[in-house]
Structure formats: C-alpha cells, structure tokens
Amino acid sequence: MGLVVQKFGGTSVANVEKIKNVAAKAIREKNAGHDVIVVLSAMAGETNRLIDLANSAADSPDKREYDSLISTGEQVTITLLSIALNSMGYPSRSFLGFQVRILTDKAYQKARISMIDTDIIQKELKKGTIVVVAGFQGVDDDNNITTLGRGGSDTSAVALAAALNADRCDIYTDVDGVYTTDPNICANARRLDRISYDEMLEMAMTGAKVLQPRSVEMAKKYDVPVYVKSTFSDEGGTLVTKEDKEMEREVLSGITYDRDQAKITVVHIPDKPGIAANLFTPLSERNISVDMIIQNASAQGYTDLTFTVSKKEMKEAQKIVEATAKEIGAKRVEVDDEVAKVSIIGVGMVSHSGVAAKMFQTMADEGINIMMISTSEIKISCVIQRKYTELAVMVLHDAFHLEKKK
C-alpha cells in the first residue's frame, strides 16, 4: 500500500459529470489499496473569468484581494468532488490551502510554497478518507490568501507529494502525456515515454504549459516521480524522472513556444558601469521577472539594451523603465508586445554540433526574422514576431525529425 497524489486540471473538472469521472479515478486508486490525495484546479475557463472580473472592477486591482478572488474557483471543484465521493460511499474531505496550511511567501500571484503542514492530511488519511486539496493557493504567515501563478495546481500537487513522501504524483490533463511539441498545434508531435527532469524543466520554462515550471523544479529537488496522463483515456502517459541510460539520447527532445512575451528596448544609453543594475534593480524590487537580455556593443559611448518580460507585466515594466531611462540619460524606451519565443530543447545538444546553425537556417528559409537569441547547455531560444509562432514550431519540428516514427 502506498500514497498516490492525483492532480486534475481545468478541462478534467469542467462540469459535474467530469467531476464524477474524477471521483471514479480516485476510487480506483483507493480500491487498489492506496491512500489517495486529489488536487484540483478550477473548472476550465473559471480562473480567466475571475481575472476578467477583477480587471473590470479596477485598472490595477489590489493584489491581496485579487488573489483571494481568483483562488475561489478551486473551492467549487474540491467541494463538489468530496460531495460526489461521500455520496458514492467513499469518505472524503476537502481542504483549502489555508486549512491544510500550505504556507507561502508574500508574492501575490506568484507565491512560492515554503512549508506544508501535513498533520491534518495525515490524520484524515489514517482514517481512510480521500483527501481533496485546492490547487493553486496557499496562505502567507499573516493569513493572507496567495496564489502560485497560472498553472499552479501542478506545483500544489508535487509539493504535497514531496511533503508526504508519496510514491507517485499523477498529473491528469487533456493530453495523454508530454509530446515533442504542443500536440494541439503540431499534428506530427510524438509522445515521449520518459523525459528527464532537466529537459522537462527547460520545456516548462520556455512555454510548454503541460506542467508549471516550479512543479518540475520541486519534483527534481525531492525526486518525485511525475506521470503525465490523460483524464479521458488509460492509454499513453509520460514519466518525468531522473535521466538514465535507457533514455533515448536524441539531439532534441522537444520544441516549445511562449506567446506571453513582450520586448522592451532602452535606446542610446550613456555607457558606463552600473546601467544594467540601474535598470533591473527597480524591476526586481517590483517582482517583475526579466527573461532574455541583450546589450549591444557600445558605440561612441552609447549603447542599447533590449530585454523581454511577460506580456502581462509589460505596462508596469515600461513605466518603471521609462522613469529609470530618464534618470540615466537614455534617449527613449521602445516596446513591442507582438513577439513570441520559440525554443528547442535537448540534452543531446551538448554532444552535437551545428544544432544552433540548423535552427537559424530553418527559420531563415521561411523568412522568419530572429530578434533575440539566448542559449543554455540544453536549450536555444529565439524571439520572433508572434504571427510566425506556429510556422516556426512546425518547420523546426520537421527539420529536426521529431515526428512520429512510422
């Protein structure tokens, strides 16, 4: 007998019928002799609806109230599931983040879990209860409700699995595993049986939203085996785990895209020590994450600096950067929110040459202009015009022969 954490995303709990299907999946594990914790998202579309409501009440809603509001979708699904389970003869109790005490820092909208009190859950599991926990939310040490960032239920699930030393964390979603690229935009995408934590982390960080990046970070840190599976079929599945010899050592494991990108350029900055610190410190103080950064070579004592932020943080970032630009004597600030990032990922890159050149040539052949490039040991990312995102993903997928094997 072991402990299984099951997480179901928005499309898996989109209505009561589907929640009953989730109940059946929890019961199956229970009947197999396991202790079961179920972590749920809100119904599909609900978190977006709540965000729209908040934004219609104010231009920049108070962050504390915003998190309290957008976390409510999960309260509906967890209670419905426990109601269903109890009526089917399987004792169940649902818990919100603060009831468990999933403790986080104070960074509203992207809070990080610092500690989980496992007492209540353990007591309930001992009684045979199926424990249902709201994903996406926690509480800070002043009892304010916080949320973990979009897609945060994945992280709630893996964090609970780590804290309770679960045998497995099953992430049920609307696709039957992790693919070489988003199967919803590339029909040739191939499902991977296994993927290493490192590759999955790069894929998640560069936009493959099938798992939230922090969930993969945490799975790696605490060695939690994560299975990505379909809610709607028992076929397939992908195991996210430590790299091992059996893993196919292909050059690339996947291609990702991120449309949630905006580019900010500070033009004609007097080039002297401290300009990067001057520009980026105020952004980090406001908790705005900067992704790619390019600084041009200095010419006649002046330089340009370009960086990317998430599209939803662009306005706030622009305001801050415009103020700094004035202080440091830069000429102007330009913004472009019609960009996207396309990335290729693979541990095999380390031992193969020519991968970057092939990526750039493939895009050049399609007339796609590359605006920014960044690399890591196992990843190359390019910023391009957003309208070319799908085309870039498809031609790269073909060029690197990631398609289904016939």
Nearest to 189 by CA among 249, 257, 261: 257
d(CA 14, CA 19): 7
Nearest to 262 by CA among 318, 224, 183, 203: 318
- Which of 184/298 has CB closer to ligand ADP? 184
Q: Tell me which residues in 140-179 interact with Mg ion (CB under 5 A).
A: 151
Partner from Mg ion, ligand ADP, ligand ASP, none binding residue 184, C-beta < 5-8 Å depending on class: ligand ADP
The answer to the question of residue 138 lying near ligand ASP (CB under 6 A) is no
Contact characters 108-137, ligand ASP, x per CB under 6 A: ---------------------------xx-
The answer to the question of residue 6 lying near ligand ADP (CB under 6 A) is no
Q: Tell me which residues in 78-137 interact with Mg ion (CB under 5 A).
A: none
The answer to the question of residue 206 lying near ligand ADP (CB under 6 A) is no
Partner from Mg ion, ligand ADP, ligand ASP, none binding residue 42, C-beta < 5-8 Å depending on class: ligand ASP
Spatial contact of 156 and 102, defined as CB atoms under 8 Å apart: yes
- Which of 84/204 has CB closer to ligand ADP? 204
DSSP 130-149: EEEEESSEEE-TTS-EEE--
Torsion of the alpha carbons at 225, 226, 230 and 236, rounded to the nearest 10: -50
- Which of 17/59 has CB closer to ligand ADP? 17
d(CA 390, CA 87): 46
Which of 153, 303, 343, 389 forms a contact with ligand ASP (CB under 6 A)?
A: 153
d(CA 220, CA 223): 5
- Which of 135/177 has CB closer to ligand ASP? 135
Residue with tokens 């960080």: 205
**Which burial class, exposed, middle or buried, applies to 294 when counting CB atoms under 10 A from its CB (0-12, 13-18, 19+)?**
middle
The answer to the question of residue 237 lying near ligand ADP (CB under 6 A) is no
Amino acid at position 89, single letter: G
Which of 4, 6, 10, 176 forms a contact with ligand ASP (CB under 6 A)?
A: 10
Partner from Mg ion, ligand ASP, ligand ADP, none binding residue 178, C-beta < 5-8 Å depending on class: ligand ADP
Alpha-carbon distances of 324 from 271, 283, 329, 363, rounded to whole Å: 14, 10, 9, 35
Q: Tell me which residues in 159-178 interact with ligand ADP (CB under 6 A).
A: 173-175, 178
Q: Using CB under 6 A as the criterion, which residues of the chain lie in contact with ligand ASP when the complex forms?
A: 9-10, 41-42, 47, 73, 135-136, 150-154
Give contact residues for ligand ADP (rule: CB under 6 A): 9-12, 41, 151, 173-175, 178-179, 181-184, 208-210, 254
